Each structure stands twice: as structure tokens, then as C-alpha cells.
């Protein structure tokens, strides 16, 4: 799995933890804390490839928003 529907978002001092679900599969990633990543909410979609995560808000934006990813998914 490389993404899915956001089911949980937690902010830390310098990063944002995003938990996603796609069917029965769940994965968690960390992204850079910035204005975009702080706007991610449950119900949005996030997918990732390489060093970037791509956020697709449920409303207001017609394209994916690239956010630097930290580390690996688990």
C-alpha cells in the first residue's frame, strides 16, 4: 500500500504523523510540519512515492499537494 484515506492525524513539534487505510491495509507516515500538512484531516486522501507525500483534500483543491516525507512508512 502506498496511501489511502486518512483516518488519523497527530502533530508533533517538528512533524505530522498521518495514518491511512486502504481496504484492510493500514500504513503510517511522517511528513514535514508546514501549513499544508497541518491542514490534513481525516477523510482526505494521502499517497506517497519517494521522498514526497501527496495530499488530496476532500474539498477546495483540484490537485494533489506535495509535502516532504520524513523517513519510511510503517
pLDDT given for residue 62 in this prediction: 79
Under DSSP, the state recorded for 23 is: T
Q: Dig out the grid coordinates for 18 from the structure.
A: 498521518
pTM, whole model, 2 decimals? 0.89
Q: What is the pLDDT of residues 5-57, one digit of tens each?
A: 999 999 999 999 999 999 999 999 999 999 999 999 999 999 999 999 999 98
pLDDT given for residue 71 in this prediction: 85
pLDDT given for residue 73 in this prediction: 72
pLDDT given for residue 61 in this prediction: 76
Distance between CA atoms of 3 and 73, rounded to whole angstroms? 10
pLDDT given for residue 59 in this prediction: 79
Distance between CA atoms of 40 and 36, rounded to whole angstroms? 7
Domains in the chain, start-ordered, CATH in brackets? 3-70 (2.40.50)
Amino acid at each position: 500500500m502506498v496511501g489511502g484515506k486518512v483516518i488519523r492525524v497527530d502533530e508533533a513539534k517538528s512533524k505530522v504523523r498521518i495514518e491511512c487505510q486502504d481496504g484492510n491495509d493500514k500504513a503510517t507516515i511522517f511528513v514535514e510540519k508546514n501549513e499544508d500538512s497541518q491542514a490534513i484531516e481525516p477523510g482526505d486522501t494521502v499517497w506517497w512515492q519517494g521522498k514526497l507525500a501527496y495530499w488530496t483534500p476532500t474539498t477546495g483543491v483540484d490537485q494533489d499537494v506535495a509535502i516532504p516525507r520524513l523517513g519510511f512508512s510503517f
